[in-house]
Structure 1
Amino acid sequence: MRKFADEPALREIASCVNFKAQTAKSVIIIFALIFCLFALMRPQWGFQWREVKRMGLDILIAVDTSKSMLATDIKPNRLERSKLAIRDLVKRLKGDRIGLIAFSGTAFLQCPLTVDYNGFLLALNDLSISTIPRGGTSISSAIMRAVKSYEGGAKKYKILVIITDGEYHEGDPVRAAEEAARENIKVFCIGVGTAEGELIWTTDKSGKRRFLKDKEENIVKSRLNENILQKIALITEGMYVRSSGAEFGLDLIYERRLSKMERREIKAQMAKHYNERFQIPLCLALTLLIIEPFINDRKRR
């Protein structure tokens, strides 16, 4: 300042300024900015219980866990590729209930119908060929397990997705499909594997890898049986998709059929709704900014 004015002029200028008022104006602006930051942080306190309603389908997914699902004609193998596709499907669900059935010689409800998708994924992660000790493949047991799971529920909105190579050693899948149709369960089948078949690698107790053999010591070759899966889908007005490397089939089923189906209101749940309080610091900031121009930082003569 001394470069632009002499000492008497500086004293004259200083005598006109109210430094306390200037300090107050600066403090007000700083606090206004602080309150604005608080408002942007969206503070919340206090809550109310609100009823949350969901619209969705009931979707049971039955996964073949027999040793034939270790075949590597779909990478990394049939079972692991199936689990990956199911995880991708879960990401698309909004309000639908989903459950998991594991089946080989018999069927087991690995995860009941739920909207807790994280819980479902934990159950899916545990799925392996050792989930069910009994060997073989019984598609009919998977269908009947789904029928039992849906007992007493809604008359429609019931979906069963079966992921398997279609080989079965016991039971009657056609009769089971007819029972599912009577219960208005639509069955969608995904066939994994190839018609040419694939040898199955297993690890013995000593840790050595070798091909799976039957009781007669013949090497087992697992082939895709599309015929039975197509019949099941036809009887229940579902859909059959053959899995391939590029398109597993679950996305196709969801886009063409499931996404277009009528949803029902699933049992409402109570959820905490926290009260937004950003208005309080925002109002304080605006009040301070309104007050600031009215503070006179000039001394009265």
Structure 2
Amino acid sequence: MLRFEHIAFLWALAAVPLMVILFFVVRRWKRKALALLGNRATVLKMIPEVSFTRPGLKFLFFLLAYVSVVIGAANPQIGTKVEEGKRMGSDLMILLDVSNSMLAGDLAPNRLENAKRAVSQLIDNLHNDRIGIIIFAGEAYVQLPVTTDYSAAKLFLNNITTDIVPTQGTAIGAAIDMGMKSFDLVNGSGKAMILMTDGENHEDDAVGAARRAAEKDVAIHVIGLGSPEGSPVPIYSNGSPVGFHKDEKGQTVVTKLNEPMCKEISAAGGGIYVRASNANSGLGLIMDQVAKMEKKTYNSKMFKNYEDRFQFFLAFAVLMLVLEFFISSRRNLRLSELNLFEVKKS
């Protein structure tokens, strides 16, 4: 398995096309300037030491050295060993509301980003627990099956937006049912769902779904996002707010936290309800409940002993720079006078 320790350094490779373009622009300019001096054959006899091929070769060596240095700085690593073992942990499924109302700004910067930041902090504090992500609006989708790959979990989390689900709404019940299908309900215990929603405009029997989950020993904890006073829902265009959603009467739509519904779902699911704020996401209280659950033993496979490979790229870069240094930009007149294939007339 290959990975880069500092993958952000690879952005420096974007300069390669610019270097190539600049090289050919300068080369073309030099050719035009040379053509202005007179007949090409005559001019070349006046500058016999000038080489028109060696600068290109030197540039190629420099470019290869630059690319190698960038890749080396990113430090490619190879996982050379797959370690199999047994772990004990709980299975957590995050049910994240991505309806348009989650763009309301009563939690900074908005409800959705506040929730994503809380989940990211949760992932940082996990050790042996497995985590999955389900997103929902009018429909529910599995964004990430339960896994111990926390890096993948963060990657999927960062890509979540309100545009990722085409149908708007708040199908909490569908999300809970999908979470139940994602769990292995045959082996072990210690399963819970963390529902993060504003609870507004729910479209199905969320309470019934939570009750069915609790009957199979899966707790449903709920984090309420938003405020009872509510906040308008912004409209974005090219990443910038351009106004607010309005109803058919032209009035600005205000989305409010449906706290009674959130409490009812958590009660039916045998979990707890916490209302998030800018200062406290509420995940701490819920994780205290998760820590009390019975841990499940499961098999895990992970790449271990990642070995650095930056040294190969840096060595290649040094070699290219040495070659570039020893190649002169001028022609060797003695070598150019040799004509090994010349046929001498008797």
TM-score, length-scaled by structure 2: 0.61
Residue 182 in structure 1 maps to residue 215 in structure 2: yes
AA in 2 matched with 1:68: S
Match of 1:102 among 135, 157, 163: 135
Question: What is residue 267 of structure 1 aligned with on the other side?
Answer: 299
SS at match of 1:257: helix
Match of 1:69 among 86, 90, 102: 102
Match of 1:168 among 186, 201, 204: 201
Q: Following the alignment from structure 1 to structure 2, what is the Cα–Cα distance between the partners of residues 183 and 203?
A: 41
Indicate the larger mover: 256-265 or 116-125: 256-265
Residue 195 in structure 1 maps to residue 219 in structure 2: no
Relative to structure 1, the CA distance from residue 228 to residue 268 in structure 2 (aligned partners, 3 Å threshold; closer, same or farther) is: same
SS at match of 1:54: strand
Question: What is residue 144 of structure 2 aligned with on the other side?
Answer: 111
Structure with the larger RCO, 1 or 2 (CA within 8 Å, 6+ apart):
1
Counterparts in 2 of 1:175-254, with a 5 A limit?
175-204=208-237, 209-254=242-287
Over aligned residue pairs, what C-alpha RMSD do you find?
2.3
Relative to structure 1, the CA distance from residue 155 to residue 215 in structure 2 (aligned partners, 3 Å threshold; closer, same or farther) is: farther
Aligned 8 A contact 1:52 1:271 in 2: no
AA in 2 matched with 1:101: I
> Could you tell me how far 1:242 is from its partner in structure 2?
0.6
Indicate the larger mover: 176-185 or 262-271: 262-271
Question: Which ranges of structure 2 fall in alignment gaps of 5 or more residues?
Answer: 1-79, 307-346
Structure 1 residues 132-189: Cα deviation after superposition (integer angstroms, max 9, x where no partner): 0101111111111111112544352111000011113411111111111122210010
Moved over 4 A (4+): 47-50, 204-208, 270-274
Structure 1 residues 47-105: Cα deviation after superposition (integer angstroms, max 9, x where no partner): 98754221110000011000100011110110001111111011110111100010000
Q: Following the alignment from structure 1 to structure 2, what is the Cα–Cα distance between the partners of residues 60 and 219?
A: 34
- The structure number with the bigger radius of gyration is 1
AA in 2 matched with 1:223: K
SS at match of 1:244: coil
Aligned 8 A contact 2:82 2:301 in 1: no
Match of 2:289 among 250, 257, 265: 257
Indicate the larger mover: 93-102 or 150-159: 150-159
Aligned 8 A contact 1:55 1:264 in 2: yes
Counterparts in 2 of 1:25-104, with a 5 A limit?
51-104=84-137
Q: Report the identity percentage.
A: 39
Relative to structure 1, the CA distance from residue 183 to residue 217 in structure 2 (aligned partners, 3 Å threshold; closer, same or farther) is: farther
Question: Which ranges of structure 1 fall in alignment gaps of 5 or more residues?
Answer: 1-46, 275-301
Aligned 8 A contact 1:155 1:184 in 2: no
Relative to structure 1, the CA distance from residue 128 to residue 153 in structure 2 (aligned partners, 3 Å threshold; closer, same or farther) is: farther
Q: Following the alignment from structure 2 to structure 1, what is the Cα–Cα distance between the partners of residues 181 and 157?
A: 21
Larger helix fraction of residues: 2
Q: Following the alignment from structure 1 to structure 2, what is the Cα–Cα distance between the partners of residues 266 and 126?
A: 29
